Structure 1
Amino acid sequence: MSTVADLPHISECSVAGCSYNSEHSCHAGAVTIAQSSGSTSCATFIPLGIKGGLDRVVAEVGACHRSNCTHNSSLECHASTVRIGAGPDDVTHAGCLTFETR
């Protein structure tokens, strides 16, 4: 990656309980993919009753903490697009569905 414009786009978010989700689109400026209890989670997930984020869909993956993912290089995601969906616990976690173990 050389610029922010090169970051992978969030192509889908199916986590209805996230404040940044609007009609299966992520409205956060960028998300962080983290490791939580062994799973791959979207650390930007916020289960609030208010909607957050930008007016238009521009969500990208800003950082990835899963160094064991095939798409990760220097803690940055190099997948062409990323899908976010229900994690192991639908209420408290959103997961990266694009994650692939090396």
Structure 2
Amino acid sequence: MLVRIVKLTFKKENIASFERIFAETQQKIQDFKGCSLLELYQDINDPAIFFTYSHWEDTKYLDDYRQSDLFKETWSKTKILFDAKPEAWSISKKNMVN
């Protein structure tokens, strides 16, 4: 499993627009083949900073999504709202037991 974390920083006046876009697309993205989870988090100290957290079966499915019309349409609406360049990490989950 691949975990994808994306940090998004918005202009304060665009926060509501982003939240609306996310609400409209969250289920569609989560239903995309290979995606089993999509969550949204907001920084408690800076409400303009959000993180998306998603689970993908593997890199192929994430890449397929990033090439899809759904991604292109969603990203074109979202990127104009940014106040800073997004940052993204693809990581693997490690279960460590003491």
TM-score (norm 2): 0.28
Larger radius of gyration: 2
TM-score (norm 1): 0.27
Higher helix share: 2
Higher strand share: 1
Between the two structures, name the one with larger relative contact order (CA 8 Å, sep ≥ 6). 2
